[in-house]
Amino acid sequence: MPNNLSHPLLTLLLDSLPDGLLVIGEDRKVLYLNQRFREMWHVPNDFPVRDDRALITLVLSQLKDPDHFIEVVERAYQTEKHFIDELEFIDGRVFSRRSASLNSDIHGRARIWIFTDITALKEADIDVLTDVYNRRCFENNYTNWVASANERHWSALVMVDIDHFKPYNDNYGHLAGDEALRKVSAVLKEQVKRYDDQVYRYGGEEFVLLLSGHDRTALLKHVEEIRLKVLALGIPHEENPPYAMLTLSIGCIFFQQPHDPFALFHEVDKQLYKAKEQGRNCLMESTLLP
């Protein structure tokens, strides 16, 4: 194992860490990696680790998005900035990847990579049926998301409700209801692709979306497309007159600076209620001014 750490105890401590550590020198040579890194990335003990390119070649087949992995690595070596992101594996694991630049008198500018297995944590945040984030995750993230609002972007808090879902379950059965939830959540995930945007299953048939964008009109159109795409699925729903298909009622609040998160949630709930009063299968929205 490449190792320029002279103190045996320090090496023992680093090998005992729950995180995988990798240190790469300015010339892209491997200066150090700990045993946990080998275990996490399935690097054989007899694998000839000389530079990071050899490691990249070894691990790419394990990742869902290898192109993104390479892109981030190459970009990291062109800056001294620190960053953090997540890596999804084909086998279902999820790693948090942190990277920091450091300067060494011997090796020049080096970069340390820290990998943490967050699979269990991510699974705790995911709704098993719909494969979107759950209410627990929403409650953990919502307040910080509201606090991060700023005047350069529009933020949109969106509440989505499947119309007359209990009668749907009663009429078609719970298996059909589960399948309908999966189809609706697939539409929501397809519409929520940007890094900062998220979709959560808030209740049985309710979803909450946290969105942002530069243009309010474009953002509103984006939300309306959710309703139209679910309508276009053409899922029969005899207990949802006059449409006789599965539809959504949507409430939406736009804002550009931090607000009281509880008051904000109350306002979006009011907009959702208005959508239901208007006959469902519609979007009601408002804007909160400073």
pLDDT at position 1 is 45
- Cα–Cα nearest to 161, from 61, 81, 277: 277
Q: List the single range of 19-28, 34-43, 120-129, 189-198 with lowest mean pLDDT.
A: 189-198
Please give the pLDDT value at position 77: 81
pLDDT score recorded for residue 52: 86
Domain with CATH 3.30.70.270 in the chain: 126-287
> Which residue has 């990847």 as its token pair?
97
33, amino acid identity? L
Q: In angstroms, rounded to a whole number, what is the distance separating the alpha carbons of residues 144 and 126?
A: 19
The pLDDT-based confidence of 144 (bands split at 50, 70, 90) is: very high
**pLDDT by residue (tens digit) across 203-220?**
999 999 999 988 999 999
Has residue 195 got a pLDDT over 80? no
CATH number for the region 8-121 comes to 3.30.450.20
Q: How far apart are the first and last CA of the chain?
A: 58
Q: Are strands 283-287 and 248-255 parallel, antiparallel or unpaired?
A: parallel
Strands (E) located in the chain: 20-24, 30-33, 83-88, 94-104, 108-117, 154-162, 198-201, 206-213, 248-255, 283-287
pLDDT at 126 over 50: yes
How many angstroms separate the CA atoms of 179 and 181, rounded?
A: 5
Provide the pLDDT confidence category of residue 13 given band limits of 50, 70 and 90.
confident
What's domain 126-287's superfamily in CATH?
A: Reverse transcriptase/Diguanylate cyclase domain (3.30.70.270)
Q: Which residue intervals of the chain bear CATH 3.30.450.20?
A: 8-121
Q: What average pLDDT does the chain have?
A: 90
- Predicted pLDDT of residue 46: 86
CA–CA separation, 244 and 100 (whole Å): 56
Tens digits of per-residue pLDDT, 234-255?
Answer: 999 999 999 999 999 999 999 9
Give catalytic residue positions. Answer: 205
- The vertex-170 CA angle with 166 and 173, nearest 5°, equals 110
Name which of 13, 15, 49, 18 is nearest 31 in CA terms: 49
**What is the percentage of the chain residues whose pLDDT exceeds 90?**
63
Closest to 188 measured CA to CA, from 155, 151, 159 = 159
CA dihedral for 58, 59, 61, 66, sign (positive or negative): negative
* Longest Cα separation, the chain: 76
Q: What are the φ and ψ backbone dihedral angles of 173, each rounded to 5 degrees?
A: 100, 155
**Whole-prediction pTM value?**
0.65
d(CA 105, CA 126): 45
Residue 53 banded pLDDT, cuts 50, 70, 90:
confident
Is pLDDT of 131 > 70? yes
Is there a contact between 130 and 181 (Cβ–Cβ < 8 Å)? yes
Count other C-beta atoms under 10 Å from residue 105's C-beta: 5
